[in-house]
Amino acid sequence: MASEEHCSVPPRWRSISLTHVEFPAGDLTGQLLAYTSLLPIVILVGFVTLIVFKRELHTISFFGGLVLNEGVNWLLKHILREPRPCEGAHATLTTEYGMPSSHSQFIWFFVVYFFLFLYLRMHQTNNARCVELLWRHILSITLLGVAFSVSYSRVYLLYHTWSQVFYGGVTGSTIGVVWFFFTQEVLTPLFPKMAAWPISEFFLVRDTSLIPNILWFEYTVTRSEARNRQRKLGTKLQ
């Protein structure tokens, strides 16, 4: 394991192409954790994809919270100006400051917000049975493991200290809670009006807040429309 005790004799580092996330050469654990630390990028790509194809207001709000969270992290780093551990160990860094960890803050914002969405937002719109709630618990445990893995990877790879990761997690969790209730109590009641704006109609932005199971709704609507079109096409062919 890469640790601060080895800072005086840094190992030879290799970077993952395009991302420049470095791990000690020959360290399989370090390589796995380097890929784990890329999960925030995967999440961002997923959000952009969802927004482009779904254009749903709550998803846009969730993404807006992530952007705000990153802005707060940048501001805190440049206010505190705490250096990273083992200064000079990594050749490519977006910023020299390490407090708080942006990866830790990002992933804990995402996980805490998602927890609240699963257990508060979906609880209000879907009276599911215990068996049907099992997947929520499994998903929550998985996300919790992901958050700890991403946080640990930043310490293992000598990008951050434990305190930088801890305060990043606390900051991200706090912003996640605040942003969830802001979205729930302030923005959600405004979503129907926002969806009716001309610009929203032009870009096909929609509000699905009152639909308990959007996947089932889209499935049934699509199947019904496909059957209607098939009947019309059959009638014309006759």
How many domains would you assign to the chain? 1
CA-wise closest residue to 114 among 167, 43, 56: 43
Q: Which pLDDT score, from 0 to 100, does residue 130 have?
A: 67
Q: Which residues of 121-159 are buried (b: 16+ CB within 10 A; e: fewer)?
A: beeeeeeeeeeeeeeeeeeeeebeebbebbbbbbbbbbb
Per DSSP, the three-state class of 175 is helix
Q: Which pLDDT score, from 0 to 100, does residue 54 have?
A: 85
Token pair listed for 175: 């912003």
Q: Which domain holds residue 81?
A: 13-207
Domain assignment present for residue 169? The answer is yes
CA-wise closest residue to 104 among 23, 167, 32: 167
Check residue 168 and report its DSSP letter.
H
CA-wise closest residue to 65 among 138, 116, 123: 116
Bridge partner list, 15: 22
41 neighbors 21 (Cβ within 8 angstroms): no
Q: Which pLDDT score, from 0 to 100, does residue 10 have?
A: 54
Q: Give, for all 238 residues of the chain, the pLDDT tens digit.
A: 544 455 554 566 665 654 567 777 777 887 888 888 888 888 888 888 988 888 888 889 999 999 999 999 999 988 888 888 876 566 666 667 778 988 899 999 999 999 898 888 775 555 556 666 777 788 888 999 999 999 988 888 888 889 899 999 999 999 999 999 999 889 888 888 888 899 988 888 888 877 766 777 777 878 887 888 787 776 665 5
Domain assignment present for residue 95? The answer is yes
Q: Which pLDDT score, from 0 to 100, does residue 97 have?
A: 77
Q: Which pLDDT score, from 0 to 100, does residue 19 have?
A: 58
Domain assignment present for residue 216? The answer is no
User: How would you classify the pairing of strands 22-24 and 13-15?
Assistant: antiparallel
CA-wise closest residue to 144 among 108, 176, 102, 168: 108
Domain assignment present for residue 97? The answer is yes
pLDDT in tens, 189-232: 888 888 889 998 888 888 887 776 677 777 787 888 788 878 77
Domain assignment present for residue 103? The answer is yes
Max CA distance (Å), the chain: 83
